[in-house]
Each structure stands twice: as structure tokens, then as C-alpha cells.
Structure 1
Amino acid sequence: LTSPQSRPDRHFTPLFAPFPRSNALQLACDDSKKNQATDIKTRRYKRDIDQIHEDMKDGGKKKFLDDLTKKDIEDLPGLAQHVCVACARYFADSAALSTHVRGKPHKRQLKKLEEEPYTIEESRRAVGLGVDKGEYGKRKEREAKEEEERRAKGEEAMEA
């Protein structure tokens, strides 16, 4: 038998191999790159319009309390003293907040918030659930009753 030192091709890994990592590790690295965009989207998530609409009703107290439970005040800009509830943003000082309030993005957000958010009741009405059908519905009900009366009379006539 020969020793492993006499056969240099066995258990030999070149220093500059094209893929020095194992296949499993390589695949794991590829997956992390693919999910990077999703992670960034999640990190930069802004509140939806309907959530902001709820915040506007109570003056932003609910959002402020939610942020306090999730984050430390020290981590929020300006120690969470300068808040734009409509845009769901914190600012470092009052000058930055006043500049933001004069800007276009804030004004666009206010226009979006003017219209009421889409509700479940609206979606049900769009499908036709719980909708008052007016005269058409009453006429259909009347026709159905008349049809039942005719059938009942027909059955009585057949029995007699």
C-alpha cells in the first residue's frame, strides 16, 4: 500500500478552485441573494393608507404606542418628538418637519387620505351581497309568490 503522501491527486484541493465551497453552501449563498430584495422591501415598509387613516382618527396615539413596543425611543429620529402622522414618519427636528409639511410628497399623501379607505362593506356591495335591489327585487318576490299560489291551486284542483 502506498501512503496518501505518495498520491498527491487524492484529497487535494487547489488554492484557487473555481468553486471552493461545497454545493450546499453555494446554493445557500444564491438563495440569500435572491431574497435580498424582499428583505429590503420588508425593512423599508411604510404603513398602508387604511392604517394611516385609522391613525388620523385618534391623532396617531395608536401608532406611537405600537412603535414604542417595537422600537426604543432612542432609535427613532428626534426621540419621536416630531411626527408627521399623515406620512407615518419621524423627523429629527421641527425645521425638518416644517420643510416636509411644505413639500409635495406630504401634500400628495393628504390628498390620498381625503378619500375614505375601501371597506369590506363596499366589496360586498360590489358583489351584490346585502344590496337593496329596489323595485326589481320586489317584482321578483311578487312573481315567486304568484307562482307558488298557482302551483298550490293546481295541486288542489288535481286532488278534487
Structure 2
Amino acid sequence: MGRNRRSRTHSNPKKNQATTQKTKRYRRDIDQIHEDVKDGGKRKFLEDLAKKDLEDLPGLAQHACVACARYFADAASLETHVRGKPHKRQLKKLEEEPYTIEESRRAVGLGVDKGAYGRRKDEERKAEEERAKATADAGAEATMAA
């Protein structure tokens, strides 16, 4: 008696489901939530809610936590959530200002003042262009005179 033969398949069905599970449980990103909270609450949140089917949301979307972008079945579970640690952690994350496009560009060096070195390089480049233009003009005049 030997042991049973192993399966010969090499694909892992759990790996294949991982991306669908992430998109299935997708919630709003922190910068989107920050926009919702910043403008006094629920305008964008309600616009996104209008795009969804209310029948699919818990409690027909009557009990929602804007800071966490979650819906709850009843007021008691919403109240429990508000008193809990995950909600308080989310509020701390929302206190920080999210990165903007300008900040990310400055981080890679776009639009950054390079100081005296950068100004000197720009001046040298302009002087070189003027010299090249002057020599091209002088060459054109010499050919016209001949």
C-alpha cells in the first residue's frame, strides 16, 4: 500500500480568485473619503450612493459611516462601529492631508526651484543658443555676400 497520488494540476484556484476578492470588497480610497468628509459630509457620498442598487446594500443604505465608507444593517451596529477601534483609526488617517499631484511632482523633482546652480545652467544654455544663432546668422550673411 502506497500513498495516494498527488494532483497533477499546477494552478492554484485561490491565487486566481485573489484579485476578484479584492475588487469585490473594494471600498473608497482614503483621498476620496477625505473629499467626502472635507466638504461637510455627504454630497459626493450620496452621488455615489445614487449610482448603486440600494437593495444590494445592508439596511438599504440607511445607516452609513461616511468616514469608513461602510453601510450597516441597523442603527445599533452603526453605533457599535463608531465606538470601535477601526473607526477611530480611520478618523486618525483622515486627519492627515492626503498627497496632492503637486506634492508628488515635487517629490520627483518636477517644478522644483534648483537655486543658483539651476539659474546658472539656464543662463549658460541661453548664451550657448544665442552664440549658435549668431554664428548661423553670420554664415547666412557670408553666403549672401558672395
**TM-score, normalized by length of structure 1?**
0.62
Aligned to 1:53: 34
What letter matches 1:45 in structure 2? Y
C-alpha distance in structure 2 between counterparts of 1:138 and 1:33, whole Å? 56
2:48 to 51, 66, 72: 66
What letter matches 1:67 in structure 2? L
Q: CA deviation at 1:106?
A: 0.7
What letter matches 2:42 in structure 1? G
What are the superposed Cα offsets for residues 52-82 of structure 1, whole Å, 9 maximum, x if unpaired? Answer: 11222331322222232221x2332222222
C-alpha distance in structure 2 between counterparts of 1:44 and 1:67, whole Å? 16
1:76 to 57, 67, 86: 57
2:74 to 68, 84, 93: 93
What are the superposed Cα offsets for residues 93-134 of structure 1, whole Å, 9 maximum, x if unpaired? Answer: 222222111111011111111112222211211121111223
Give the superposed CA RMSD.
Answer: 3.0
Cα distance change, pair 44–143 in 1 and its aligned pair in 2 (3 A): same
Aligned to 1:114: 95
Q: CA deviation at 1:144?
A: 5.2
Cα distance change, pair 144–31 in 1 and its aligned pair in 2 (3 A): closer
Could you tell me which runs of 5 or more consecutive residues in structure 1 were left unpaired when the two chains were aligned.
1-26
1:103 to 84, 93, 107: 84
Aligned to 1:14: none
Could you tell me which runs of 5 or more consecutive residues in structure 2 were left unpaired when the two chains were aligned.
1-8, 139-146
**Percent of aligned pairs with the same amino acid:** 75
Q: CA deviation at 1:142?
A: 4.8
1:123 to 100, 104, 108: 104
1:138 to 119, 128, 136: 119
Max Rg structure:
1
